[in-house]
Amino acid sequence: MLNDMSGDWLVYRDLAIALSAGLLIGVERGWTMRDERKGARVAGIRTFGLIAGLGGLVALIAESLSLIIAAILLAGMVTMISFSHIKTIHEPDGRSITNFVVSLLALCLGLLAGSGYPALAMAGAAIVAALLSMRSELHGLLGKLGSTDIKVMIRFALIALAVLPFLPNRDFGPYDAWNLQQLWLVVILVTGLSFAGYVANRIFGESHGTVVTAVIGGAYSSTAVTAALAQRMRGDDSNRRTLSAGIALASAVMYVRVLLLTLILADFAFVPLAMIIAPAALVAAIIGLLLLRRSGAAKSDESVETRNPIRLLPAFFFALTVAVMSLAARWAEAKFGSSGIAYLTLIMGSLDVDAAIITLGGLPEGTILSNLAGFVLAMTVLANMIFKAGVAGITAGWKNGRSAVAALAASSLVLAIAGLLSFVALDIRF
């Protein structure tokens, strides 16, 4: 008897959620079309609720009574919805086709709830209602997009959605070093940060000026920001301190980004890494703010032109690089223990800090000590900072770029000292 009561309760719950999902969509549709003339709307709050509720009943009938009866009812409902929208299908505002699609969505969500997936149905209804309510905002955003923005979004969609579902989630290869799905997940994470920085750059860059755009750009490529600003220093005598401030602040953001990636992907190394690079990040931020204050020009109408962050070939190359490093790390661990991994990560991570973080995060637990891992990652960051100082000095010239080089050098010096103190205090051994 208790089981029967429990089964009845689940049926009532699913039907109620099916009805609620339709009502939620109906509320949005009713509010959006509240100024329409009487009789112009094909469906309103009650109709959308009933459509979804009928979908729930059809699913229940298909499961408990007859698939044939359920199919007849479903076909009749789809036919009725289709005919009810034929009269208004050519309206210039296009609302009729939207309501037609939304009506079918409400029916499908009702079917989903009645089939035993009420949470998914309610979540789907919330997403549909949110998208419908954002019509003006989405159209406004679309008007601001250029061809480059569309390409960036499509490329990120390819990386994040079109590849991952087809990759196997199992270890294979020499030393079981590779897992294609995990490799691609970290690629999605890194390119996702790049995509977020690009979007923020497009939205806020022009209105907030060079420095804010440089800080945003530092979230995905502080090296690219350094190169772009250093190039401008050659012919901009009046704005060099502002440009130098942007380079310093972009590097400060880079430190935060490295810490965030380490916390997500290799959390065992986060605390020792934070102890080493936090002082350097603070110095970079303070110097950047002081240069900005002395420049007297915190705003500018010109934004920094950073490279397109979502490029397919570099993404594939990054995945290949991580795979090679993962195999090399497993080989080094098998041959030389944790010291082999440390040396290998330090050498290869100097070229790509993200790849070093990902490699350490993909190692089996206990393969390398946390203190050693944090120290090695900090040294890869130091190598990257020295490289950026060289880029700034060579691109801008010593006379023009000395402020930027000095800012990067000061942060690098603090990082080197903190690394040395950590090396001695924690008795780190390779």
pLDDT digits (tens, 9 = 90+) for 277-297: 999 999 999 998 888 887 754
Band of residue 243 on the pLDDT scale cut at 50, 70, 90: confident
Same domain, 44 and 165: no
- Indicate if 259 and 347 belong to the same structural domain: yes
Instruction: Please indicate, yes or no, whether residues 118 and 185 belong to a single structural domain of this protein.
Output: no
Dump pLDDT digits (tens) for 349-368. 555 677 677 767 776 666 66
Q: Do 171 and 272 reside in the same domain of the chain?
A: yes
Question: Looking at residues 288-312, what average pLDDT do you find?
Answer: 61
Rounded CA-CA distance 171/168 in Å is: 9
What is residue 161's DSSP assignment? I
- 263 vs 227, more confident: 263
- Do 239 and 110 belong together in one domain? no
Considering its fold, how many domains does the chain have in total?
2
Tens of pLDDT along 168-222? 888 777 777 778 887 777 677 656 656 665 666 566 654 455 666 677 767 766 7
Is residue 189 situated within a structural domain? yes
411 DSSP assignment: H
Helices 338-349 and 370-396, packing angle to 10 deg: 20
- Judge if 214 and 314 occupy the same domain: yes
| pLDDT band for position 1 (cuts 50, 70, 90) | very low
Range of the structural domain that residue 115 is part of: 2-140
Give the single-character DSSP code of 41: -
Tell me, what's the pLDDT at 417?
93
Same domain, 169 and 186: yes
In a domain, 430, yes or no: no
Q: Is the pLDDT of residue 127 over 60?
A: yes
Residues 32 and 179 in one domain: no
* Position 41 in a domain: yes
The answer to whether residues 295 and 239 touch, using CB atoms and an 8 Å cutoff, is yes
140, 174, 205: which is the final residue of a domain? 140
Phi/psi for 178 (5° steps) reads: -120, 140
| pTM assigned to the model | 0.53
d(CA 280, CA 382): 10
How far, CA to CA in Å, does 329 sit from each of 332, 373, 381? 5, 13, 19
Q: What is the total residue count of the chain?
A: 430
- Give the whole-number percent of the chain exceeding pLDDT 90: 5
Residues 200 and 313 in one domain: yes
Regarding whether 150 and 115 lie in a shared domain, the answer is no
310 and 275 both lie in a single domain: yes
CA distances from 32 to 68, 133, 134, 192 (A): 37, 8, 11, 33
User: Of 117, 140, 163, which marks where a domain is finished?
Assistant: 140
Between these two residues, 352 and 119, which has the higher pLDDT value?
Answer: 119
Do both 166 and 115 map to the same domain?
no
Q: Does residue 96 lie in a domain region?
A: yes
Residue where a domain stops, chosen among 110, 140, 170: 140
Residue type, 18: A
Instruction: State the burial class of residue 410 (Cβ atoms within 10 Å of its Cβ: 0-12, 13-18, 19+).
Output: middle
Residue 337: CB partners within 8 Å, gap ≥ 6?
none
Q: What value does the mean pLDDT of the chain take?
A: 75
Instruction: Tell me the HSE value of 381 on the side-chain side, using a 13 A CA sphere.
Output: 34
